[in-house]
């Protein structure tokens, strides 16, 4: 049975791959992002896959624009069954090199954008006592890394907001569910247009996965809204390991992760970026790291086949293994 699904950040990367996957299921997909040209390209992919798209250009940092998009989605596609909060931006730089206004902008898009989307969905879902809100998160919602203070802080905030909201819905006895998908490093175009002070091209933290893996997890979470869904063995290791020995993570990341987030391709740090305005050139779902990107996640298969308890147990085992290896290497 087809559903009405709203996807924010739908013009590229994870949002683009998710919209395509929803289209393949025959869903009606409302597409929210700033760039109309790239949204139209996403819509065509949804249409070819078998779905019904609706292009809704909007900046998720604008609460009124998000509310207007939600109203139009329901008017043209029907009651919203699933809302996927995915829109994001970032500045890759040492914290002291980020301008205050840039910190504010990332917070408005990433954190407040999720709040605006969630509240717009709840205004419609709570009276009907049904619906699912999927928050697209990251292992970095638990373990912050260098160069990404702007992004990590907002993912931590989203997790806090989501945990509070979940308890409120439980208190109310609501049939609305909220779930968070914690993702690994992904091969998306974001690294080609992110604002940065680096002199070499930013890259995702290895191991890298294709955005279709994230899309698979998002659709699973929408169908089976568990508290959280972890994707990638590294995600499980990071989350579990950070609970056990966070100080060890601090030292390891300080030693390895600044270099680990750059490749050998030189860039001009003043190149155009997407922080304040949409570049709106269609970059699709994939970035430049397809050669190393994995197309499936064993961790996700464990979640899907064995349930949340099995996934958590595997995560703790991986975390313990990582700790043991770190001790041996220190």
Angle made by CA atoms 45, 50, 52, in degrees to the nearest 5 = 80
Cβ atoms of 131 and 82 within 8 Å: the answer is: yes
Tokens, residue 261 = 């987030």
Measured in degrees and rounded to the nearest 5, phi and psi for residue 129 equal 60, 40
Instruction: Give the integer Cα–Cα distance in Å for 70 and 128.
Output: 15
Instruction: Give the integer Cα–Cα distance in Å for 125 and 79.
Output: 8
Beta strands of 58-168 (E only): which ranges? 82-85, 91-92, 132-138
The answer to whether 276 is a known catalytic residue is: no
Return the DSSP state at 204: P
CA distances from 314 to 242, 301, 303 (A): 15, 12, 10
Cβ atoms of 275 and 89 within 8 Å: the answer is: yes
The residues near 314 (Cβ < 8 Å, ≥ 6 apart) are: 233, 236, 299, 302
Angle made by CA atoms 57, 60, 61, in degrees to the nearest 5 = 130
Indicate which residue of 111, 142, 151, 274 is catalytic.
151
* Helix/strand number for the chain, H first, E second: 11, 13
Length of the chain counted residue by residue: 330
* Residues labelled as active-site residues: 151
């Amino acid at each position: 049975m087809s559903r009405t699904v709203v996807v924010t950040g739908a013009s590229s990367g994870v949002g683009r791959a998710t919209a395509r996957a929803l289209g393949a299921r025959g869903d009606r997909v409302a597409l929210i992002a700033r760039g109309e040209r790239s949204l139209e390209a996403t819509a065509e992919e949804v249409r070819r896959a078998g779905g019904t798209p609706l292009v809704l250009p909007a900046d998720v940092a604008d609460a009124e624009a998000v509310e207007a998009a939600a109203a139009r989605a329901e008017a043209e596609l029907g009651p919203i069954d699933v809302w996927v909060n995915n829109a994001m931006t970032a500045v890759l730089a040492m914290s002291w090199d980020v301008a205050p206004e840039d910190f504010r902008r990332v917070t408005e898009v990433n954190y407040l954008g999720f709040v605006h989307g969630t509240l717009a969905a709840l205004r419609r879902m709570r009276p009907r006592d049904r619906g699912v809100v999927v928050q697209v998160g990251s292992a970095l919602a638990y373990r912050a890394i260098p160069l990404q203070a702007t992004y990590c802080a907002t993912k931590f905030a989203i997790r806090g907001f989501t945990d509070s909201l979940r308890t409120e819905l439980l208190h109310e006895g609501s049939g609305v569910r909220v779930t968070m998908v914690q993702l690994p490093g992904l091969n998306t175009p974001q690294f080609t247009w992110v604002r940065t002070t680096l002199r070499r091209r930013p890259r995702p933290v290895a191991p890298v996965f294709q955005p279709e893996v994230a899309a698979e997890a998002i659709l699973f979470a929408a169908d089976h809204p568990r508290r959280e869904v972890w994707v990638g063995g590294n995600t499980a290791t990071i989350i579990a390991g950070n609970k056990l020995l966070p100080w060890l993570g601090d030292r390891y990341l300080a030693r390895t992760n600044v270099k680990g987030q750059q490749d050998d391709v030189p860039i001009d740090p003043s190149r155009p970026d997407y922080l304040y305005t949409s570049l709106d050139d269609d970059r699709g779902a994939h970035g430049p790291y397809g050669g190393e990107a994995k197309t499936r996640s064993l961790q996700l298969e464990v979640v899907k086949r064995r349930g949340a308890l099995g996934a958590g147990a595997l995560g703790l085992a991986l975390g313990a293994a990582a700790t043991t290896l770190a001790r041996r290497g220190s």
